[in-house]
Amino acid sequence: MADIEFKANGYLEKTYLDREGGKHITFEFSNKDALEIAKLELMGRDLNTHSPILLKVTVKVTLIEDLENAKSGNGSKVIR
């Protein structure tokens, strides 16, 4: 199977550990990236059993104060 790549500009909103020691990370993305977010949500579940699928996540940090398509306050998604 070919690798599928997800690209969106966003901000790290918060992180926390749950009781079992799992790390939860919340990112904030703009509405312009809604289609890419929907693709990510589909990639994260097996379509037959609806079980979670392990995603390989790579984060690129850009030191720019205000990215054009990722404004603060436009919505967020939890990626586990």
- For residue 68, the 8-state DSSP code is T
- pLDDT digits 0-9 by tens, 5-64: 788 888 889 999 999 999 998 888 888 888 888 888 888 888 788 888 887 878 888 776
pTM: 0.55
Residue 35 vs residues 6, 14, 32, 49, 55: alpha-carbon distances, Å: 10, 23, 8, 23, 18
Banded model confidence at residue 72, pLDDT cuts 50, 70, 90: low
7: tokens are: 């690209």
